[in-house]
């Protein structure tokens, strides 16, 4: 990470992840630490075992369900400044999943914002991204290449609804694979705009859906496909399931079905071909290329550090535009990241 003038960096890279020396905390550490500030509940950001956690208020329920209810988790409302050691920390909506937060840190080295994962597309299941002015902006770059440009959500949701309908008219069920935190609830919230027909979900998704309902997110009513009595027909039904259920005996109960995957990864040709779903829906919870550039511009930052995904091409592009840039390595490179 480049250093500027004689100011200390607000955050430094350590073997456990980004560390704020003046505040004594890590952000999204990948090993247990004394104090962890968490941007959101996905597995590549929120790791168990730390002695204390701080997260945005709406995300605390998800973290508790992941880590256990006795985990010391301090929820902080969006926008409320908190003094930690020699710095002031506040959390601001990142628009990625419920409770996702950008971490703003004001210290002797200026104002830093660590965005975590974020998106700019509207999402009825979480608070909308808010641009935060800063000196140094740490941006994700999961889809940090000019080829990544998302279609609008309404078009994608009409595709999903149309697929469900046409499968139903032929007596098949529709099995939509998606991540259990964020994507499932976003799809259920989007569908609830047009129908109140219940959907089925894999049993392991229920606690995370409940965490959203607890925060007042309106979604389609759901039933556990896992708990239905033997012989239940799922013909014409929509079933949401995590990818790990694909190809397992659990699928047999669903009978004749079409399968689809809702993820930004469906824009990646290799993934599309290799995974061979009947349908791919390019519904991403990350910023696409234009949204990354727009966001970087809106922060007013003079230095941008890219991480998480295509960090090198994004940093190179910004450098060519005359910006001070760098790259932060993470323990989670490549395709393992949840989308």
Count of residues interacting with Zn ion (CB under 5 A): 4
Instruction: Find the shortest distance in angstroms from Cβ 292 to Zn ion.
Output: 14
Instruction: Find the shortest distance in angstroms from Cβ 77 to Zn ion.
Output: 21
Rounded distance between C-alpha atoms, residue 203 and residue 227, angstroms: 7
Angle at 53 between CA 50 and CA 59, to 5 degrees: 130
277-312 core/surface letters (b: 16 or more CB in 10 A; e: else):
bebbbbbbbbbbbebbbebbeebebebbbbbbbbbe
Rounded distance between C-alpha atoms, residue 38 and residue 111, angstroms: 18
Is 117 a binder of Zn ion (CB under 5 A)?
yes
Instruction: Find the shortest distance in angstroms from Cβ 93 to Zn ion.
Output: 14
Burial class (CB in 10 A: 0-12, 13-18, 19+), 140: buried
129 or 200: CB nearest Zn ion: 129
Cβ neighbours around 163 below 10 Å, total? 18
Instruction: Find the shortest distance in angstroms from Cβ 306 to Zn ion.
Output: 13
238 or 305: CB nearest Zn ion: 305
Rounded distance between C-alpha atoms, residue 113 and residue 105, angstroms: 6
42 or 172: CB nearest Zn ion: 42
Q: Could you tell me which stretch among 109-117, 148-156, 190-198, 206-214 binds Zn ion (CB under 5 A)?
A: 109-117
94 or 240: CB nearest Zn ion: 94
Assign 3-class secondary structure to 65-123. Answer: HHHCCCCCEEEECCCCCEEECCEEEEEEECCCCCCCEEEEEEECCEEEEECCCCCCCCC
Is 286 a binder of Zn ion (CB under 5 A)?
no
Q: Are strands 257-262 and 136-141 parallel, antiparallel or unpaired?
A: unpaired
84 or 243: CB nearest Zn ion: 243
Instruction: Find the shortest distance in angstroms from Cβ 43 to Zn ion.
Output: 9
Is 186 a binder of Zn ion (CB under 5 A)?
no
Instruction: Find the shortest distance in angstroms from Cβ 338 to Zn ion.
Output: 5
For Zn ion, the binding residue among 35, 42, 186, 303 (CB under 5 A) is 42
Terminus-to-terminus CA distance in the chain, angstroms?
26
117 or 159: CB nearest Zn ion: 117
Instruction: Find the shortest distance in angstroms from Cβ 233 to Zn ion.
Output: 35
21 or 44: CB nearest Zn ion: 44
**Contact characters 320-339, Zn ion, x per CB under 5 A:** -----------------x--
73: tokens are 């988790």
Would you tell me which residues interact with Zn ion (CB under 5 A)? Answer: 42, 44, 117, 337
């Amino acid at each position: 990470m480049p250093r500027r003038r004689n100011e200390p960096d607000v955050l430094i890279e350590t073997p456990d992840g980004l560390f704020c020396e003046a505040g004594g905390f890590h952000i999204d550490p990948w090993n247990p630490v004394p104090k962890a500030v968490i941007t959101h509940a996905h597995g590549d950001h929120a790791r168990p075992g730390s002695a204390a956690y701080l997260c945005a208020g709406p995300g605390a329920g998800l973290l508790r369900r992941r880590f256990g209810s006795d985990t010391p988790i301090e929820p902080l409302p969006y926008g409320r400044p908190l003094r930690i050691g020699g710095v002031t920390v506040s959390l601001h909506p990142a628009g990625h999943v419920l409770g996702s937060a950008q971490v703003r840190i004001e210290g002797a080295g200026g104002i830093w914002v660590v965005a975590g994962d974020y998106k700019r597309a509207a999402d009825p299941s979480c608070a909308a991204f808010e641009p935060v002015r800063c000196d140094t902006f740490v941006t994700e770059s999961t889809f940090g290449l000019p080829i990544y440009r998302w279609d609008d959500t309404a078009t994608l949701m009409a595709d999903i609804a149309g697929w469900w309908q046409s499968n139903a008219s032929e007596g098949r069920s529709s099995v939509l694979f998606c991540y259990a935190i964020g994507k499932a609830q976003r799809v259920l919230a989007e569908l609830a705009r047009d129908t109140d027909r219940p959907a089925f979900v894999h049993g392991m998704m229920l606690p995370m859906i409940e965490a959203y309902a607890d925060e007042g997110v309106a979604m389609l009513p759901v039933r556990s496909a896992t708990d239905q009595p033997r012989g239940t027909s799922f013909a014409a039904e929509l079933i949401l399931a995590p990818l790990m259920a694909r190809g397992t005996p659990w699928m047999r109960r669903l009978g004749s079905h079409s399968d689809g995957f809702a993820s930004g990864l469906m824009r990646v040709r290799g993934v599309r071909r290799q995974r061979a779903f009947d349908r791919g829906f390019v519904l991403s919870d990350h910023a696409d290329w234009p949204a990354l550039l727009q966001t970087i511009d809106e922060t007013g930052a003079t230095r941008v550090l890219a991480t998480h995904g295509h960090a090198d091409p994004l940093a190179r592009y910004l450098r060519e535009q005359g910006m001070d840039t760098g790259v932060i390595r993470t323990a989670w490179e490549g395709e393992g990241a949840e989308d």
